[in-house]
Amino acid sequence: MNISRRLTVLIILSFIALTYFENAALSELTNLYVATLLAYIIGIVPATSGNILFLKMDEYIVPILISFECTGLMFISIFLLTMFVLPDIRLKHRLLSLLLLPLIYLANIARIIIGISLGTYTEDIHLMTLFHDTVGQVILVIFTIVTLLLFLSTFGYIKLKRGL
């Protein structure tokens, strides 16, 4: 299958998966992980219901919706799409790249936890929203790209310059 046909098929499949695969179970699982890590590592104890975290901030109870977009599946899909669209990568290495998906998922959970921690400790909902919606997203994009580049470099598909 040539590259343009493969790319077209993968883009269509990715679009279908991201459009029609809004799974509440994945959002609830992410919510559970976030709540557990907040409680045991950071000391913030939220109440949870389904995919909603309830936190006390600035004398208010703030509901935080862990939506499908917060699960990191879009970043994981971009990583997978890139790995399977790039030509001349052996199937074994493509399959090995699947082992990095939990790492991207955990980085996404860290993004959520950092945003909530910032909002809780500063009692500033706007700071939490700013980090979650902008800074955290940019950091996760950079993390995903760096993960991809390091993987490709490790197996010799690209050469990264060392030093400046």
Residue 41: CA count within 13 A, CB half-sphere: 11
Output the pLDDT for position 93.
Answer: 93
Flag whether 88 is in a domain.
yes
Output the pLDDT for position 2.
Answer: 66
Overall average pLDDT of the 136-150 stretch: 94
Overall average pLDDT of the 63-83 stretch: 85
Flag whether 163 is in a domain.
no
CB neighbour list of residue 119: distance below 8 Å, 6 or more residues apart = 55, 57, 62, 125, 127, 128, 129, 131
Output the pLDDT for position 144.
Answer: 94
Higher pLDDT, 164 or 68: 68
Higher pLDDT, 43 or 6: 43
Higher pLDDT, 56 or 98: 98
CA dihedral for 135, 100, 53, 117, sign (positive or negative)? negative
Flag whether 30 is in a domain.
yes
Flag whether 162 is in a domain.
no
Flag whether 66 is in a domain.
yes
Mean of the per-residue pLDDT values of the chain? 84
| pLDDT tens digits, one per residue of 13-26 | 766 666 666 666 77
Please give the Cα distance from 117 to 96 (Å, whole number): 34
Output the pLDDT for position 104.
Answer: 94
Flag whether 45 is in a domain.
yes
The pTM of the full predicted model, rounded to 2 decimals, is: 0.81
Higher pLDDT, 145 or 55: 145
Output the pLDDT for position 17.
Answer: 65
Structural domain containing residue 42 = 3-154
Q: Which of 22-26, 32-36, 158-162 comes out lowest in average pLDDT?
A: 22-26
Flag whether 98 is in a domain.
yes
- Cβ 77 vs Cβ 14: under 8 Å: yes
Here the contacts of 57-64 (C-beta below 8 Å, separation 24 or greater) are: 57/119, 57/120, 57/123, 57/125, 57/128, 58/123, 58/124, 58/125, 62/119, 62/125, 64/116
Flag whether 33 is in a domain.
yes
Domain count along the chain: 1
Output the pLDDT for position 21.
Answer: 60
